[in-house]
Amino acid sequence: MTVASPPLRQLSFASHKVLKDGSWIVVRIDLPDLPVICKIIKGDAEKLRREVTRIEALRETFPTLAQLMPAIVGQGHLRGCMPEGRPYYLQEFVGGTTLGDALQQGGEIATGAQAMLGPILRALLDHVDEHRPIEMVDPRQWLFSSLTRALDRLKDLPVIDTLARASSIVINGRRRDGLAACLARLLLMAEAMLPADAITVSALGHWNFHAQNLILTDEKPTGFAIIDPDSSLETCDPMFGIARLLYSFPHDVAEQGGYRLVTDHLLRDEMPNPRFEVEFGWIHTAIAAYGALYHGLFAPGRLPRAVDLDRRLADPAQALRLHLNLLLCLMRGAAVNHEPDFQVVDGNLRHLRNNGVFLYLHAVDLANTLLDTSRGRP
């Protein structure tokens, strides 16, 4: 599909819908002949340029993604508004519901979305195989040093630094070892269990297949579309994109503030063993709806069951690769979403929210669960 790029000042916003207002304003606007998405960046014009370049490169390079990703149909700057000259791009509009929204709705819509998890995972794993490995990079070394660097980054962030130094954290009544000690043991385990040829590293990828970036459509044969690559990441293991799918539950809960941390963290000076109860505001049916993607704090000791959905993930080396990428994804998420302080909720100094800490607790839980599982402990 091609649409001439119209200067946006000629477009009428009389018929529009704002879909998201974050670091971008994402608006559906109705052109005379068809609806399009207009993504207007706040501030960082370079980020928009990277995203447009990435979408075009992905569609040119990967046949699977070319079928699944809507095309860019124009770009420019907003004129005559404040601030003057905001950059935007236009993209084909995909009719449907995001996978995340469908899972949260419960009922038949969620059941239909759950039925799509297998086909989606299969298509995304086909795409993992499309990547061309970078010859010069040792892939295991790349993964291990990425995990180590992600941990180092967390040690320098306000609030999380205290947790990163703690030797253990009590989460929902279970004593969990600190992340640094877990990671050291996990890397030793991976040295032994992850063959060098079980993993690749690629210089171009989408990397961002979480459930708010997958749109369920009625379009055959795929039934879904993919938007919004992570253009802040260049080189990565293609399995990281699949890990982002497994990251959907904590991501969506954090984005909607659907949790609270019950803790004495604000009230005590010294916390040799920090304690957190993580309570979810989401109704349990919505949590259950994430199904095979769900892992974490309501399911102690359980790894995501997504590995049951495709036989390629039944290979223990591939499952380990996926789970180490999920750990990397959670640690990156904790850093990117870190907030310098807690937000008090419900007017109670023991009820707090901080997305970085919330994601960090998921990382600690996953690292411990991976070690326990490898030792045959539930």
Ligand X SMILES: Nc1ncnc2c1ncn2[C@@H]1O[C@H](COP(=O)(O)OP(=O)(O)O)[C@@H](O)[C@H]1O
Query: Which positions lie near Mg ion, rule CB under 5 A?
Result: 213, 228
CA atoms within 13 A on the CB side of 331: 27
- The site for ligand X, by CB under 6 A, has a size of 18
Site string for ligand X, 64-103 (x = CB under 6 A): ------x--------------------xxxx---x-----
> Smallest gap, in angstroms, from Cβ of residue 203 to ligand X?
22
Two tokens, residue 161:
């630094």
> Smallest gap, in angstroms, from Cβ of residue 211 to ligand X?
9
> Smallest gap, in angstroms, from Cβ of residue 27 to ligand X?
9
> Smallest gap, in angstroms, from Cβ of residue 176 to Mg ion?
30
Residue 228 or 237: the one with the smaller Cβ distance to Mg ion is 228
Q: Cβ-closest residue to ligand X?
A: 228
Q: Any contact of residue 104 with ligand X (CB under 6 A)? A: no
Cα–Cα dist 347/241, whole Å = 38
Name residues contacting ligand X, limited to 238-277 (CB under 6 A).
none
Distances (CA, A) of 255 to 33, 151, 286, 317, 353: 34, 22, 15, 32, 11
Beta bridge partners of 254: none
Q: Identify the residue whose tokens are 């989606």.
A: 120
Residue 267, helix vs strand vs coil: coil
Q: Any contact of residue 237 with ligand X (CB under 6 A)? A: no
Residue 171 or 215: the one with the smaller Cβ distance to ligand X is 215
Which DSSP category does 1 fall into? -
List, in sequence order, every beta strand (DSSP E) within 266-308: 275-280
Which DSSP category does 282 fall into? S
Residue 250's binding partner, choosing from ligand X, Mg ion, none, with beta-carbon cut-off 5 to 8 A by kind?
A: none
Two tokens, residue 165:
């130094």
> Smallest gap, in angstroms, from Cβ of residue 322 to ligand X?
23
Residue 258's binding partner, choosing from ligand X, Mg ion, none, with beta-carbon cut-off 5 to 8 A by kind?
A: none
> Smallest gap, in angstroms, from Cβ of residue 378 to Mg ion?
35
Q: Any contact of residue 345 with ligand X (CB under 6 A)? A: no
Distances (CA, A) of 154 to 144, 185, 270, 338: 16, 18, 20, 9
Residues 139, 133: contact at Cβ < 8 Å? Answer: yes
Q: Any contact of residue 17 with ligand X (CB under 6 A)? A: no
Cα–Cα dist 114/285, whole Å = 13
Residue ranges that bind ligand X, judged by CB under 6 A? 19-20, 22, 24, 26, 37, 39, 70, 91-94, 98, 212-213, 215, 227-228
